[in-house]
C-alpha cells in the first residue's frame, strides 16, 4: 500500500479589479449573460464566457427545465456552442460567475462535476490547458491554471 498526495494551487484575486483588463472584460461578459439565465426553479443564475484562440468570445447561461435534469449549466452551454460553431478553435480561458436570486453569493463558485468533465474533454482534446476564473456575485476571484487542478483524476477516452 502507498499513499499519494495531490495538491491544487489557485491564484486568488481579492476583487475583480485586480484582474487584467482582458480578464475583467471576460468576467463582465459572464456577469451580463448570467442575468439572462433561465433559472425559475433553482433561482441560481450562472454565466460563463469563453475566450477562444481565434479571438472570439462565446457566452452561456444556465438553462433549467421542469423535467429535471434536462437543463444545462452555463459552462456546458458555452462550451458546446463553441464546439458547434468553432470546432477547430481552442478554448484559452473561461470566466464563470454565479448569483442567487435569494441571497448574495460572496464565495467563488467553481464548475460542478458535470461541467468539470465537459471542460476536461475539451482540454484533453486540444492538448492545451484552459485557464478557469470563477467568482460568486461579488468578492474574490479564483484562477485555476488548468482543469486538471480542479479534477486531478480526469476520465477520458484512454480508459475506454
Active site residues: 75
The β-bridge relationship of strands 11-13 and 141-144 is antiparallel
The span from the CA of 115 to the CA of 110, in Å, is 9
Strands (E), the chain: 11-13, 44-52, 57-61, 91-100, 131-135, 141-144
CB 122 within 8 A of CB 84: no
Amino acid at each position: 500500500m502507498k499513499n499519494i498526495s495531490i495538491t491544487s494551487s489557485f491564484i486568488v484575486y481579492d476583487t475583480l479589479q485586480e484582474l487584467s483588463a482582458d480578464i475583467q472584460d471576460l468576467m463582465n461578459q459572464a456577469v451580463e449573460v448570467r442575468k439572462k439565465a433561465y433559472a425559475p426553479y433553482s433561482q441560481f443564475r450562472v454565466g460563463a464566457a469563453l475566450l477562444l484562440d481565434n479571438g472570439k468570445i462565446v457566452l452561456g447561461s444556465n438553462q433549467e427545465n421542469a423535467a429535471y435534469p434536462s437543463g444545462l449549466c452555463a459552462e456546458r452551454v458555452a462550451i458546446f456552442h463553441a464546439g458547434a460553431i468553432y470546432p477547430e478553435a481552442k478554448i484559452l480561458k473561461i470566466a464563470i460567475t454565479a448569483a442567487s436570486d435569494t441571497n448574495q453569493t460572496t464565495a467563488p463558485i467553481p464548475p460542478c462535476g458535470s461541467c468539470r468533465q465537459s471542460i476536461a474533454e475539451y482540454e484533453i482534446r486540444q492538448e492545451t490547458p484552459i485557464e478557469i476564473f470563477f467568482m460568486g456575485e461579488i468578492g474574490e476571484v479564483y484562477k485555476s491554471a488548468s482543469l486538471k487542478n480542479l479534477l486531478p483524476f480526469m476520465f477520458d477516452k484512454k480508459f475506454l
